[in-house]
Every structure is written in structure tokens, then in C-alpha cells.
Structure 1
Amino acid sequence: MDDAERTAGDFTYIDNFKLLLQWQSPAVAPAAGRRGGRGGWQQRGQGSGAGASGEVEAEDLLPALPPGLTAVQVVADFLTELRGYIFRHLVRCAPAHISAPASSSPLPLLDGSHIGWCLTVPAMWDEAAKSRLRQAANRAGMATAADPAALQMILEPEAAALAAAVLQVPPAAAPAAAATSTARKTGGGGAAVIDEAVEVHLRRIDAAERSDDAASSAVTAAAATARSGPKAGPAPAPAASLCEGDVLLVMDCGGGTADVTLHRVRGAGAGLRLEEAAEGRGVPAGGRFVDAAAWSYLRSELGGGAWDGWRAAHVREWAQLAGSWEAAKRFPGPVSLQLPPALLAAVAAGARKPRGRPRSTMLGLGRRSAAGGAGGPLRPDGVFVLREEVLEARVVGPVVGRIIAAAEKVLREGARAGSAATKVLLTGGLANSAALQRRAASMAASHGAQLLLPRSPSASVVTGAVLFGQLPARVSARRCRLSYGVMTATAWSSAHEDSHRERGYPGWILDDEGERLADDVFKQFVHRGQLVETDEVVVHTFSPIYRSEQSVAFRMYATESSTASYTVEPGMREVAEVELELPADWRSKVQSRHDYKLEAELRFGATEITLLARDLHTRNAVATTLSWTSDPVSLPAV
């Protein structure tokens, strides 16, 4: 779509919209604090202190949505288009055993129920963001009420670790594997043919080296002409592999987030499993933050008015410049970018006109001599140069620093828990950055670990997602990020009395039998940091309080504290609720209310938690997935 077509059709170019699922309420459009036309092209951090310090916050990247649109709807529209594209591809390529020719159509038929979807989510996302993504996927038709299991979600660093562990090529087999076009591997449900392109060749990267991935990759012609010349990489790094007993630190550095997790490798071959060894961390840092810092620097040097006006009016040129930067930023530096003609014209038009001389269209393009003068970043031929010291101080360095700091914390926590990392896996699009590779290799060496890099770091997560959809049991245990429990009432005790006297809670109530009960008690099911098996179920038994009750509400709470006792404590928040209907004559079936048993069950799935309440007398049950929304999606009673 060219700029004229986009403008005439009143279309809006939006990027970074996935970030809104975590950092922006889906029901509220971003505030129009800074002018950005009607589109979402302008980062709200532009013109702020972000350009001066090189630090870009998540809020600086949030796009402004057109009126009437929510983040969930925008993501749903994107996933709808993606789903349609994939479905059309499968129709064209589906093998005979899952399709049949239609009598009146030249295209084969493909049953949509044969397709399972697995979406990846950053490990740092909270339950609310995951819930919003599932809402968007449901709107896009990836799951239905009849088949909710068709959609699964996996944490992105876990997906990367799974791909590295399951599809790895052992060092001795790597040369032979590279010579073959396909490889056959067995996994759980039987044999599966895996294209050689997704084989995970893990390479060991030493602190003094950088990966040859960037240099060996095909660079687009636009990116190649935007640089002063190609940089030859070193010889391929030695191959490596994961094995039983390894403790693997995963640094998944994507576009908007950098997630760090620690996993212990259990078993081998078809029996290989991953067990989370320490609580992971995530930071808002990734390729998008590097990009934003680069554009902030260009904007400050070229002039905010010229940059903003050009970017709003010439989206095609903007996309081309962004593509050139995407290929060039993985190199150490300096980075040279050929500025588009319309941008150069806008900068020239905004330059001050020297008295008595015509306005220059080449030299003096910037607002200050720093941009267009001798030694400035903008050369006379329209090439903008980001020097190595600029990249380190203002563009790449601050983002890499955030990522390394998060990884160091997880490494230290793992070591204190007896799970010192033996290997570090660097994945995600930003893993192609030579600067990040150098820092990560140095960090790994300081902890006595090896840094491993897949042949295609940016493909590891999506490859692992496919594997997880087929073999979900391979991720066998996770650490709880929060403590979870339900609100209940229990017999009044001296501990409740002491808390009431010192802190003002809990309060108390009387049941129908005159028993004094402490209210707002937090019945903990799991505590923060606890290792929980996938598909583990924790069950506790309860009873109704009053004979007049016709339903019982089970309210699930979460807190960062591992020792919380009451739901009214600071930091406690309600995350889900289910209401269980009781039979009208339930009290006539038992002598005491304590004899009528109800169960609350917390079930841990792959990346979501389910709260289920069950009447043990009628077998009636109701469930909901755990979320922070006030209107959780409940499953029908069964």
C-alpha cells in the first residue's frame, strides 16, 4: 500500500500493538498526550528524555489506537489474518491423509478441527495479559466453546528451551546433519518428519568471539547498500548439546520483552523433560527498545518536526528504513543507513536558511552542526552513521544492560538454591546482536557456564511452540510466580485474636450453629516459588456456612507473599471467581453443615491455571480459567 492509497482509504499504520496487552488496559484507548495524527505511528516517548539518555520505557513504545479500537480487537484482527493465511497455505500443501478433493472445487478440503494452535507469551506477562491474548485468539477463531483445547499457550523461553533440548543435533552428528535435507526424530506420539531447517544446531560462543550468524545470513540488498561494507565473521563456533543434569539458563530476547528462566534437563531422548529450577524474571527490553532508541537518536539529530512529519506521511519509506536497520543492527558497528529521499527533503526544508545564500539540499541538513557539519552523523551523500560509541551509550548498550542485569539475578538465585547454571541459551531476534552476544558470553564465563546459540535464534521460540503443541508433557514442572488460595472462614483461634488486635483483621461471623468463625481467611493452595508439576491438581474440602445458602462463591486470590493468612492483607488481589449452585434441599441430606462437602480444585495446565468447584453429593461442578478480569469466562456446569 503506497502512501497515497493509505491516506485516501483512511488507513492507519500500527506497530508494537502486542505490547498493549500487558501495559495498557484493553478497555481504554491510549491517552492522546502527544500528537501523532490519527494513526499509531508515533512513539509517545519521542521528544522526551528517552533520546537524551538512551533509556526507553515500555510506555514510550505504546501506539495510539484509532477511536473505537481496543488492544484485544487489534490483536484479534491480526490473528484473524494470520489464521487465514496459514489455513490457505495448509489447503494448498495438505497431504492426502488429511484432505480430500472436493467434487466441485479444484482445491482440497481441510477440516479446521484438525488444526491445533499454540501461541507464545512472554514469561513476564501476568494472568490478565494472557487472558487478553486468549480473548483475541478466540475472536480470531483459534478456539471455540466446543473445543477450547484447540488453543494452547506456552511461555516463550520455555519454548526456546524445548526446541533446543528436543531438536538438538549432537556435536558428533552436526556435520552429517548439515548435509541432509530432512531428519527423522521420534517424540512421544510416534515418528515425525522434521525439516532440516528446524534442526537446532547449538553452537558454543566464547567470551572473545561473536556469532557468525549475522555475517553468514543473506543480507538484503537495501541493507547491504546502507552499510560501508560487509563484515566477515569468524569461523563457525564449536557445536554443543544439552544432556541429563544440565541446568540451562534461557535468555529469550524478543521484540518487546526479555525473559530469563532457569531449567534443569531431566532424562534424554523421547523421555527428556524440562523442570524449572528457579523463578524466572522478565524485563521490558528487546529489539523494539533498541529500535526506539535508534529512532530517538536520529530524530534528535535530524529535527523532530522533519522526522515526525516524514514518518506520518511516508509510511512506505519508513518501513523500508526500518527494514534496513533491522538487518544492520546485529553487527557491532558503526551502522550506516541511507536515508530515504523524502526524509532528506523534509530535513532540508526544516534547516535554517543562511542569509544571502540558497537553502542547501545536501550539506547542513540537520538542525545543528552535529547533524550536517564536518564529522557529524549525516554525510553529504545522505548516509546517516551511528558510531560505535553512540550504539553503546544510547542505542544498544542500555537495553543489553537491562537484560544482563535480569539474567545475573536469576543466575544468583539459582546458585543459592543449588541449581548453578552449566549452560546459557541465547535466543530471540535480538540474540543476533553481536553486542548482546559479547556481554552474554562474558557473563556466562564468569559463572562457569557455556553460552549456546542456535543456528537461527529468532526461530527457536516458534519451533518450540509447535513441539509443545505436539508434546506438552515435555515441560514437566514450573515455579509458581505467586501464592494462590481461596477466601474461606475457619474456627476462631488465638492466632486470629492476636491478628485482629494488632492489625484490625480478620473480622468474625457466627454460623447457624452458633460457632464463631474468622472471616476473610486465605486458604493457601500453593506458595510462591513452589515447584508444581504440569497437570498437578491441588484440592481442599469446604462446607457451606448458612442453611439458607443456595449457592457458594469460591473466590481465588493471589499474592506475592508466601506467608499470607488473610485476603484483606496488602498486596492481595482477587483473580477469579466461580459460583456453585446448591440443591434446594441440601441441608435435609445431612445432620450438620460440616457433613455437606464441597471441593475447590486448582489445576495447573501448561501456562494457565483453572479453578474448579465441585459438589461431592450431586457431582455438579463449575470451572473458570484464572484471570484478573472482573468477568472471567466460566465453563458450563457438568
Structure 2
Amino acid sequence: MSDSFFIVAVDFGTSYSGYCFCVQSNLDDVRMVYWGHEVGLKTSKTPTCVLLDEHGEFLKFGYEAVMTYTRMGRGESARKLYFNNFKMQLYNKEISRDLMVTAANGRPFRAMKVFSESLRYLKDHALSTIGEHTSGKEFIASDVTWVLTVPAIWTAAAKQFMREAAVQAGLVSDFHSNQLIVALEPEAASVWCKHLPSEGFVAEGASQDNRLEQSPGTQYVVVDCGGGTIDITVHEVLESGSLKELLKASGGDMGGETVTKKYLSFLRDLFTPETWDQYEKENPSEVQKMIYDFTVQKCVGEDGDIFIQCPYNLAMLAGSKQDMSRYFQGVQGVFWLDGTFKVTYSKLRSFFEESVQKVTILIQNITSNPEINVEFILLVGGYASCKILQKKIREHFSSRCKVLCPVDAQLAIVKGAVLFGNDPKIMASRVSALTYGIDIARSFDESKHKKEKRRVNKKGDYVYCEDIFLTMVQNGQSVNCDEVSHYDYYPIDDDQTAMRFRFYSTERLNPMYVDECGVKKIGSFVVPMPDTTQGRQRRVRVDIKFGSTEIQAAATDLTSNETRSIRLDFLTK
């Protein structure tokens, strides 16, 4: 841990973002921030929406971005660059530094700029808030240990992208800075839930003790229900009180935004694709307001109907083609009530069905695993606040284990991230999601190596096989978080002045070559070896930690005895 004064944890979500902070020396006082005062609201998070001008310069973030954009006229909104749900561009995709995201007006724009400007706003807001809590004393980014939460199912490339965006945003100045900690969202939530008393969870029954058991050997599933992804991990409490991951993280893109998309798809069919597509193109700011209204109401606490005001321009466009009431004739569960959509509770539940079913299957696959004994299911994240989701999960699993949901489920991650930032070693071990290895050369053996991979070095005194996959850690292997693996390598040629390492990953356990089906190059680094006097007898030692939230590596040229941190580049060019 660095000598910073504060810990600030940033939960950068698909739908909503926020942060919590505390003084480094007072972890019992984790403070939250309320958003939306300027629009008459008081919420613990703000929409992950950013508004840039036509030149790509920052204008607004969060509620201010939403409200500014929704109040714009058609011509002005067509020029401005408005982004939401852009975090999903980092899920299950090949990621490069030149990755593009599409604004609401259809214009593509550099994702790195969108992410970094959003993080810059949150950083500046946090520093300003800290100043307000410290009698106006000014602090800078280097006074803070920053914790940035990411889904556990994200790739190494996605995590690197977020770190680079954080550097560009000014959270830290150095890519390797230990003042920026990347925390996995379900792990952060798990840390927080371990600290909660019984009253910290939504009560299932008047006489029940809803406390999360802390005794060694207790096993529980953490279901991080975000707007974009569902992220599931399984933890066991160890004798030391630290946590062991039992199964590799699982999940997918079935979060709360899936429900919203079902609703919008329904509206498109209701008003006809032609009418809806025209409306969406001409009135993007109104569409965003409609999405926001539904997002708020889909988390209703009672089993009741919801009412959503029909936007003016939609009513005008659709009404110009036929009377509005005719669109609703014969439609089950949705009614037109003089300018308002009435959505019955039954119809609302139908928008949840696909997402809830997929989440249920994922949890079922885990709880039915004979190698583990799950006693608790923790539902955390913004989507977990939806009573329909909570109710369905309890119906399926409460007979076999206790289902717990924190009272303020969407803050469990960010509050836990503050504690994680103070003590990342609370996670004792993690399970590798993939097999990782590097490309090496070995002395050629005709009995086991492919003839087409036979090579000879410059001097002609070394015959070797290229493209061999050296396995460093296997898919499903448990790795201690503080475990460092050591590997020694030698150059192929006497005059070689650098050694290039190429990293690969695969779901397979033991591939032979790096060019086999299913093996993907994920990163590389170069180690300089300027002193060639010892020829091929020189040695480079590579030290790698696979158990951290980000793969960490260092290399030592043992000829010069110089060690340096290695920046593994997982982003495609």
C-alpha cells in the first residue's frame, strides 16, 4: 500500500457509476456520494453517460449529460456526441487502443477518449468532494490510492484498456503505479458483504438471521448483477478470514440492460419498425429520456403496474399515422391512457424472463457441482435491486441455500472496493479462467516435433523447434495470489540483443504449438540484452504473478543483473 491519504473506489458501471472514499487511516468511515441534486434527485450513482461537443471536447457526465442532451433540439443533438452503455464494448471483443464506439447520432469515436474523459470527470469530482470534507484543503490525484472495479469475466486486454484510460485521465501518471488497483467486482462485493450485520441485508423473514456466515469452510456464490454483465464467482472462507476462489468466474451479457432492450424492442414492434426507426433517428435525446424512465421504474419494489409518459415527438409521429389507441388494440399487458403507457406487472415480468432464466441456469450449474457445498447466494449490483430478479432467484434456490441481498445492493461493490484497496491480499487464491503460456524454442526432436517447424540458428550450432507452447498456468488451476513463478530462457543466437516473449491463451489444457486451433496471441514484451559477450550462455529470468487481478511480470537480464517491470501488452495493434 502506498503512502496516500485517501482511498477512492470508482465503480464504473455499464448503466450507472459512482465512487466511495475514506481516509486511509479510518476504514470504518466509508463515505458515499449522492448524485442528481441538480435534477431533483438523490441517488448513490449517476448514469454512465458522457456528452462531448462536435469536436470531441468534454461537456457533461452523468445526470447532467442526460438532461442536457434530452433538452436539446433536434438539430443540436444531431451534432453533439452522446454516449451510453459504452462499457459493453470491452466485453467479449477484440480490443485495441483504436477501438471505436458509436455516439447516439451514429458517429464513430475513439473509445479511449470516451472512457478517459469519463474517468477524468469522476476523478475531479472525487477530489473536489474530498476537499469539501476537509475544510477546503486541496488534494491532488497522487494523494489518493485509486481502486477501479471491473467484471471478473473481463479479459486481460479489457483490464489493460481501463488502466490505460485511467492513466490518460490523470488518476495516476505511471502505468505500473501501485496507486491504481484494479479490483474484480464480485470480489469487492464479497469483501463488503463479509462485514455486514444481519440488518445489512434485505430481510427474507421476520425471524431469520440474514448474516453471512464467517466460519472457515463456508462457501458462497457471489452473483454480481450489473447493467451489462452478470458476473459470478464462488468463494470459500479460510482459517485466516481471507477468501479462496473455488471456480473460475462465469457469466455473460445478460444484465439489466437486457430487460431495457426487451422493452424497446416491444415498443418498436408496437409502433411498427418504420415509425420507431424514424423516431429514434430524429429524436435521440427523447429516446434516452424514455430509457432512463423505464430503467428507474423496472426496479419497483411492489408487484404493481408501472406508468411511463409517452414522449411528445413519439406521440406526434405515431399519431400522425393513426390514432394512438389503435396501436394498443389487441396488445396484452400495455394500455394507452391519455398520453401515458400503462405496463402491467405481468408484462413487466415478461421483459425479465430471458435474463432471469439465463442467470438461474448459471447459478444452477454452480450449485449442482458435487465438488462444492454452497450455503449462501449473494445478489449484488444495481440489477440486483430489481425485486423481480430477487424474487425469482429466491423461488429457485432458497430451499437449498440462503439467498442474501444487501439493502443497498448497488453500493456493495464500490464500498467493498475501498476495503479491497486497503488490503488486496484478502483474496488468497484465484482460479485461472484460461491456460496461459508463451512461445518458446526447444532443441529439435524428430520423434515428437513437426518437421516444418525445424529451424537452425545463424551460427549453425543449434537446431531447434519453433512455436512451442510452454504452459505457465492451466485453465481451472488454482493459483495463490502472492505466488510468483520463475522461468529461465536463453538466446538462440550469439549476437542476439533482445529477447521477445509472446503470450498466448486457450481454453485447452495442454496445447503443443502456439498456432494450433483455439490458441490466441494475447500480448508480448521485449527484454533488452545489450551485452553479447557470453553468446548463447546468457540467461533471462522472467518472474510472473498469475494470481493478481492483473497479470504482473518482471524480467532480469542476469548478465547485467538489471531487473525491470514488464508491461504486458494485451491490446491488439
Of residues 279, 282, 285, the one that matches 2:248 is 279
The percentage of counterpart residues that share the same residue type is 25
With the length of structure 1 as denominator, give the TM-score of the two structures. 0.72
Change (3 A) 1:262 1:369: same
The structure-2 alpha-carbon separation of the partners of 1:567 and 1:78, relative to structure 1 and needing over 3 Å to count, comes to same
- Could you tell me whether the CA contact under 8 Å between 2:221 and 2:234 is conserved in 1? yes
Match of 2:217 in 1: 245
Residues 393-433 of structure 1 deviation map (CA, whole Å, 9 limit, x = unaligned)? 4x100011111122222334xx34x2221111111111122
Q: Given the alignment of the two structures, is residue 291 of structure 1 paired with residue 260 of structure 2, yes or no?
A: yes
Question: Is the 1:552–1:582 contact (alpha carbons within 8 Å) kept by the matching residues of 2?
Answer: yes
State how far apart, in whole Å, the 2-side matches of 1:376 and 1:479 are: 45
Compute the displacement of 1:264 (Å).
Answer: 0.6
In the TM superposition, residue 297 of structure 1 has moved relative to its aligned partner by 1.1
* Cα deviation, residue 315, structure 1: 5.7
Residue of structure 2 equivalent to 1:139: 168
Q: Alpha carbons of 1:88 and 1:236: their partners in 2 closer, same or farther (altered >3 Å)? A: farther
Superposed displacement of residue 608, structure 1: 0.6
Query: What is the match of residue 4 of structure 2?
Result: none
1:411 to 367, 383, 389: 367
User: Is 1:490 aligned to 2:489, yes or no?
Assistant: no
Give the 5 Å matches for 1:209-228: none
Give the one of 296, 299, 310 matched to 1:340: 310
Residue type of the partner of 2:383?
L
Aligned residues: 500
Residue 612 (structure 1) shift: 2.6
Q: Which runs of 5+ in 2 are unaligned?
A: 1-67
Distance 1:157 1:462, change over 3 A: same
Whether 1:549 and 2:548 are equivalent positions in the alignment is: no
Deviation at 1:495, TM superposition (A): 5.0
Find 2:90's aligned residue among 21, 25, 32: 21
> Structure 1 630/612 Cα, relative in aligned 2: closer, same or farther at 3 Å?
farther
For each residue in 1:368-389, what CA deviation from the matched residue of structure 2 results, as whole angstroms up to 9, or x when unmatched? 6336xxx772233333233344
Aligned to 1:564: 511
For residues 20 and 397 of structure 1, what CA distance do their matches in structure 2 show?
24
Task: Give the letter aligned to residue 411 of structure 2.
Answer: A
Q: Distance in 2 between matches of 1:29 and 1:583?
A: 39
- Residue from 304, 322, 328 that aligns with 2:297: 328
Q: Which of 362, 374, 381 is equivalent to 1:428?
A: 381
Partner in structure 1 of residue 329 of structure 2: 369
Alignment partner of 1:597 is 2:539: yes
Q: Distance in 1 between matches of 2:469 and 2:278?
A: 55
2:358 is aligned with 1:402 = yes
Give the alignment partner of residue 429 of structure 2, picking from 455, 477, 482.
477
Report what 2:201 is aligned to.
Answer: 202
Contact kept in structure 1, 2:190 and 2:222, CA below 8 Å: yes
- Say if 1:204 and 1:450, in contact at 8 Å, map to a contact too: no
In the alignment, does 2:234 pair up with 1:265?
no
Describe the SS at the equivalent of 1:369.
coil
Matched, 1:78 2:30: no
* Cross-structure match for 1:357: none
1:351 aligns with 2:415: no
1:601 and 1:613 in contact (8 A); partners too: yes
Query: Aligned-pair distance for 1:156?
Result: 1.0
- Are positions 1:458 and 2:410 aligned together? yes
Alignment check: 8 A CA contact 1:153 1:606 kept: no
Given that residues 162 and 475 in structure 1 are in contact (C-alpha distance below 8 angstroms), is that contact kept between their aligned partners in structure 2? no
1: CA distance, partners of 2:129 / 2:101: 36
- Does structure 1 retain, via aligned residues, the 8 Å contact 2:335–2:343? no
Aligned partners of 1:512 and 1:341: how far apart in 2? 76
Distance 2:264 2:152 in 1: 27
Superposed displacement of residue 253, structure 1: 0.7
What is the aligned counterpart of 2:127 among 60, 69, 87? Answer: 87
Residue equivalent to 1:153: 182
The Cα of 1:241 is off from its aligned counterpart by: 2.0
Paired residues for 1:162-201 under 5 Å? 162-165=191-194, 167-169=195-197, 171=198, 174=199, 201=200
* Cα deviation code 1:292-314 (max 9, x no counterpart): 11121123213445544555555
Per-residue CA deviation, residues 468-513 of structure 1 (Å, 9 max, x unaligned), is 111111112100111122221222336524xx2xxx6643435747
**Is the Cα contact below 8 Å between 2:147 and 2:182 reproduced in 1?**
yes
Match of 2:394 among 441, 464, 475: 441
Which one has a larger percent strand, Structure 1 or Structure 2?
2
Q: How does 1:28-177 map to 2 (within 5 A)?
A: 28-29=99-100, 39-40=103-104, 64=106, 66-67=107-108, 69-94=109-134, 107-145=136-174, 148-165=177-194, 167-169=195-197, 171=198, 174=199
Partner Cα separation in structure 2 for residue 402 and residue 582 of structure 1: 51
Q: 1:117 to 1:285 in 2, by over 3 A?
A: same
- Kindly indicate whether the alpha-carbon contact (under 8 Å) linking 1:603 and 1:611 is maintained by their aligned counterparts in 2: yes
Instruction: Tell me how far apart the structure 2 counterparts of residues 303 and 621 of structure 1 sit (CA, whole Å).
Output: 64
Query: Which amino acid is the alignment partner of residue 598 of structure 1?
Result: V
Aligned AA (1:156): E
Instruction: Return the TM-score normalized by structure 2.
Output: 0.80
Distance 1:505 1:249 in 2: 48
Aligned residues of 2:228 and 2:258 also touching (Cα < 8 A):
yes
| One-letter code aligned to 1:242 | E
User: Cα 1:421–1:432, aligned 2, differ >3 Å: closer, same or farther?
Assistant: same
Computing the radius of gyration over CA atoms, which structure comes out larger, 1 or 2? Answer: 1
Q: CA deviation at 1:71?
A: 1.5
Q: Deviations over 1:201-227 (max 9, x none)?
A: 134648xxxxxxxxxxxxxxxxxxxxx
Q: Assess, with a 3 A threshold, how the Cα gap between structure 1 residues 445 and 389 changes in structure 2: closer, same or farther.
A: same
Could you report, residue by residue, the CA deviation over 1:4-26 in whole angstroms, capped at 9, with x for unpaired residues?
46843732332111111235555
Q: Is the 8 A contact 2:161 2:571 kept in 1?
A: no
Q: Which amino acid aligns with 1:239?
A: N
Shift of 1:237: 6.0
Question: Shift of the alpha carbon at 1:238?
Answer: 4.1
- SS in structure 1 of the partner of residue 355 of structure 2: helix
Output the CA distance in 1 between the equivalents of 2:552 and 2:174.
16
Matches of 1:85 and 1:490, distance apart in 2: 54
Give the 3 Å change call, closer, same or farther, for CA 420–605 of structure 1 in structure 2. closer
Q: Which residue of 1 aligns with 2:48?
A: none
How far does the alpha carbon of each residue in 1:117-145 deviate from its partner, in whole angstroms, 9 at most, with x for none? 11111122112221221221111111212
1:55 is aligned to none
Q: Report the RMSD for the aligned CA atoms in angstroms.
A: 2.8
Q: How far 1:317 moved relative to its partner?
A: 4.8
Q: Secondary structure at the match of 1:116?
A: strand
Change (3 A) 1:535 1:526: same
Contact 1:301 1:370 in 2 (8 A): no
**Residue 32 of structure 2: aligned partner:** none
User: Is residue 2:544 matched to residue 1:574?
Assistant: no
Q: Distance between the aligned counterparts of 1:478 and 1:146, measured in 2? A: 23
In structure 2, relative to structure 1, the CA distance for the partners of 1:239 and 1:15 (3 Å cut) is: same
Q: Any conservation in 2 of the 1:336–1:383 contact (CA below 8 Å)?
A: no
CA-to-aligned-CA distance 1:341-370 (integer Å, 9 cap, x gap): 505632553433xxxxxxx5x643x2x633
Query: SS in structure 2 opposite 1:496?
Result: coil
In 2, the alpha carbon distance for the partners of 1:153 and 1:423 equals 26
* Residues 142 and 172 in structure 2, CA contact (< 8 A), matched pair in contact too: no
Aligned in 2, Cα 1:168/1:336: closer, same or farther, shift over 3 Å? closer
1:56 — aligned with what?
none
Partner residue in 2 for 1:518: 465
